Structure 1
C-alpha cells in the first residue's frame, strides 16, 4: 500500500494540473490573518496558466466572502472564482418565497438572506430552519441548542445547514460551526439538507466555473483539491473523484505535529475509512 507523503512545495505536484479547487479557511487564512505563502502559491499557479476556484463552506454569498478576504489581505488575484455554501443555500431559500423560517446564526451571516423574499418567524410559527452558525460561537457549543432542536423536532421542521463544517480555527482558537448544530439535529432524528463540502452540488458548481474560465471542461485527473479537513475537504474530494492535497496546519494540526512520515497505523488513525490524500503539506507554499 502507498501512504501519503509530505511534500514541501505545490510546484512539485502540479506539472499536469490545469485547475485547483481550494478551500479557503485553514488554507489561505485562519479567520484572523492571511497566510502570505499560500496566497503566493495560488498567484503563481494562476500566473503559470492555471485556474483556481475557491470552494468554501462559508454561509455567506460570494460578494461577502470577497470582502472578508480583502479585509484579511488575501489578494484578488489568488483565484478566478469562488463557490460558497451561502450561494447554494440562497438558491434553496429563493425556492420558498415568503415561507416563514427560523434562523439560527450570528448577525454577520445576514447577507445570505439579502435580496430574497424571506419571512423570519419564531420557532413555533416557522416552516423550516436555516442554520448558518451559532449565535455566539465564542462560547457556545451545539449542546446549547439541544432544547431548541427538540422543539423543532416535535414540529418536524426541516433544517437547511449553510455550513457543514463542525469546527474551524479562528486565530489560535477552535470554534464550532453550523455543521455541529445540524449534525446534532440529524442524530436526534431531524431532516437536514447540507450545502457545501463534502456534498456533490458544491463540486458540480466548482467544475462548471473551471470549465467557464478555461473554455472547456477539465478532466478530473487534471485537477487537484486542496483542504485541511478530513470530514469535508478530503471526503468531498474523494467523492468528486479528485486527488487531494491535505494541509496539516489547520484543524488537524495537533494530530500531525510530531509526524515526519505516514505509515499504515498513522494512516488509519488520521483518516480512518476515508481514502487518504494524494499528498500532505504542512502549509501551502509554491
Structure 2
C-alpha cells in the first residue's frame, strides 16, 4: 500500500534526481503552485537534480518560455524533457509520412514543426488537408471543450486510408484552473478504439523516459533508476509510467484525482486506497499537493 507523506523533504534524501510532471503538480495551466516551486528549489539546493518531464507537445524551449509566464522560476529545475520533443523527432524521421494532416491549435503548436537540428537528414514535413495526407500529427483537439467524438467522421476516413496518428501528448484531460479540457490523448484513444493506429511518445511510454535520462546525463551526472523518483498526478501517465520504468513514484492526489481521493490538504486514506485498487496503480508514496 502507498505511503502517505506530508512533504517532499520527508523522502527526497533517498533520491538523486526527480522526474517531475508539470500540469497539476507545479502549475495549474495558469500559474505556479508556490509550495511546489519552493519544494523543488529546496531539493536542488541539497544537490538533487530536477528534470521536468511533461506531456506537453511543445519543444523544450517553448515549455521554458511558458513556465516563465506561469511564474515558475528557472532555479526550480535543471532541464526539461517534453513529449513534443520526442514526438517531433519521430515525425521528422518520417514515422507518419512527409505530408501530414495537423490537429491542434496552430498559434500554440506551430513550434512543433520547427526544423529539428538533431537529425542528420530530417524529412521535409508538409501540412496538407486530410484527403492528401499520408499520416496525422495530433498535438490536441481543435476545440479542447468539444467531445472527442466530433472527430469520428474524419477518423473513419483516416482509418480507411490506413493513416497512422502521431500523438504528441498522451494526456486524456488537464485542468486549466477550474476548467477541464480534452487533450490529444483522448483523440488518439478514440482513433485506436475505432481501429486506427496511434503512435505515442509521452508518458507512460518509454521514449520520453529515454529522453529524460539523456537530458539527465547531459547535466554531467549518472543516476541509476533506483535513485530516481517520478512525481505526478496522472494515474495512467505519471504513475503507470514510473511503474513501467521501475522507478519509485510520488502520486499528487490533489490534481486529476482530487475528487475521487477526497483530497483537501491530504487524501482520505480509505478513498485513496479504493482509487488505487480501481485504477490498478501502485504509487510508492502519495501526497495531497507537491510541497
What is the TM-score with the length of structure 1 in the denominator? 0.93
Equivalent residue number for residue 109 of structure 1: 109
1:151-208 per-residue CA deviation (whole Å, 9 max, x = no partner) reads: 1011010110000000011000110000000000001110110110000111111122
Structure 2 counterparts to residues 1-286 of structure 1, below 5 A: 3-96=1-94, 99-107=98-106, 108-115=108-115, 117-137=124-144, 139-215=145-221, 217-257=222-262, 260-263=267-270, 266-272=272-278, 274-285=280-291
Moved more, 104-113 or 176-185: 104-113
Q: Return closer, same or farther for 1:191/1:267 CA change in 2, 3 Å cut-off.
A: same
Cα offset for 1:262?
A: 2.8
Return structure 1 stretches of 4+ with deviation > 6 angstroms.
none
Measure, in 1, the Cα distance between the counterparts of 2:131 and 2:83: 27
Cα offset for 1:124?
A: 0.9
Contact 2:253 2:267 survives alignment (8 Å):
no
Measure, in 1, the Cα distance between the counterparts of 2:201 and 2:248: 21
Cα offset for 1:212?
A: 2.7
Q: SS where residue 64 of structure 2 aligns?
A: helix
Measure, in 2, the Cα distance between the counterparts of 1:250 and 1:193: 26
Q: Return closer, same or farther for 1:4/1:83 CA change in 2, 3 Å cut-off.
A: same
- Count of aligned positions: 280
1:77-96 per-residue CA deviation (whole Å, 9 max, x = no partner) reads: 11111000110111112112
Q: SS where residue 46 of structure 1 aligns?
A: helix
Measure, in 1, the Cα distance between the counterparts of 2:85 and 2:239: 21
User: Unaligned regions of 5+ residues in structure 1, if any?
Assistant: none
Q: Return closer, same or farther for 1:225/1:70 CA change in 2, 3 Å cut-off.
A: same
Contact 2:254 2:267 survives alignment (8 Å):
no
Q: Return closer, same or farther for 1:273/1:166 CA change in 2, 3 Å cut-off.
A: closer
Measure, in 2, the Cα distance between the counterparts of 1:118 and 1:10: 43
Cα offset for 1:103?
A: 0.4
Contact 1:51 1:214 survives alignment (8 Å):
no
Measure, in 1, the Cα distance between the counterparts of 2:60 and 2:14: 29
